[in-house]
Structures are given as C-alpha cells and as structure tokens.
Structure 1
Amino acid sequence: MKLQQVHTQPDPYAPYLLSQAIKAGGLVYVSGQAGVGDDGRIVGDGDFDRQAEQAMLNLRRALVAADSDLSQIVKVTIFLTSMSHFPKIVALRRRWFSAPYPADTIVEVSALYTPEAMIEIEAIAIADTAGTAA
C-alpha cells in the first residue's frame, strides 16, 4: 500500500516533523488538529469556543487538501483538557457534522502539546477517489 503525505498551506505542524494527514488504502488519516492559527500559535488563549472553532477549520483544511471533506469522516477522536466542555462538543458536532454522524470518542487528557491548547481533534475519513468532495 502506498502512503501519500497531505500538505496544507500554511502547515503550522511542519516544525514537529509530522504530516497533517496521510492518504492510504482509500482512507485519510488526519493528525490531531488543535486551535492553531496560521502563525502556529494557539488562538484565544483560555477561550474554548475560539479554539474549538479553529480546530474544526484546521480539520476541514486538512481534509480538503486530501481531496475529502467533513462529510466523509468515519471516525473522530476529540481530546479535551476538561470534560466540562462536553456540552459544547455536542453543539460543535451539530454545527459541523450531519447525519450519518461520524463515530466519536471523547477523551479528557491532563495536557496537550502546549499548555494553552484546550482541544485537539483527529479524524479518519474516506478519500474522495471519485472526485466528489465539496
């Protein structure tokens, strides 16, 4: 099976030597997307809503770069530094996803890659081999 690295512009994770996503076997595996702006810094320090919004924008950007989109997501894993934000995750899913909703795991962690990060979202999606991604 051939692995294809997916690049985004900008790619704030390049300094960490990881791929935004990898396409393999008809699927797209998206690395954890945090609330990172184009400058590589966390947006909205202490503002969960801004970070969650940016994380979803980054997830969408990685999927589009892989010729896929949010509607092709099969599975998401959402990492939170506080489960107190769980109700906001339900609203976030309602806003960004539609039926059939992707399978989902939500995990509370003590920390993410930087102390300012409050959320990180990784996903597995279907690669759009038919060219129908929006």
Structure 2
Amino acid sequence: MTPFGAKLRALREAKGVTLTDLARALQVSPAYLSALEHGHRGRPSSGLIHQVNEYFGLIWDDAEEVARLARLSHPRVVVDTAGLSAEATALANRIAREIRRLPPETIAALEAVLDGAAAAEGQAARSRPQARSSSR
C-alpha cells in the first residue's frame, strides 16, 4: 500500500463510500482505484488528486496533505547510489531486499533515525558561518 492509497481508503471508509461509488464519481474504474489503494499503481495524476480533494471537500492543509502523499506514492523506487560509498550502495541493496520483511515498528525506527540525521544536518548547516560575497 502507498501513502496515497492508505489515505484514499481512510477517506472512503470515514465517509462510508464504496470503491465502486467513488470510481463512478471520479469517472475511473473501480479496478484502478483498488490498484491505487493497494499500491499496484504509481502516483495518481494531479487531475485525479484534485478530483479526490473536491469529492471529499478537502481544502487547504488537508488537500495539500493528499497531494504530498501522492508525491510519495511511487511503489517502485529507484535509488541512485552512483558516486556514494560502497557502504551506502550495500545499505540501499539490503533495504531493497529486506523491506518486505520489516515490521511497522522497525520502519518507524528507521524513519526516526533518518529524521534525526536530517535535523542534525539542518542544524549544522544553520550554524556554519556564511561566506561573504564581495560586490567589487
């Protein structure tokens, strides 16, 4: 399941809408919506995202969240490790092999590690002295 698929299913279930009824309203096939929900299809088009937001009456932050989840929802990810260390390439390959077996708690822990690393890098970048540009 993709992040967009999970959100779409949650929206449908919260409103009591069947897959068939939503498909009819969005003018797509129920099979397509099912494939989106189950992660068998890639990112939805911006037009479909707009239709989903309109159908469920989502605005502002909620609509942007649906669009953000759609951007994160490509089920076949390619990781380019060209130019990175051998360890980075080995890690990427190991994750690709083992991700199906990881329990949700482990995935959440890995995300927390990556979030912490990104936050630390952002903090380090903010504390570095800025290079001054001369206007001569």
Q: TM-score, normalised by structure 1?
A: 0.25
Q: TM-score, normalised by structure 2?
A: 0.24
Larger RCO, structures 1/2 (Cα 8 Å, 6+ apart): 1
Select the structure that is richer in strand: 1
Select the structure that is richer in helix: 2
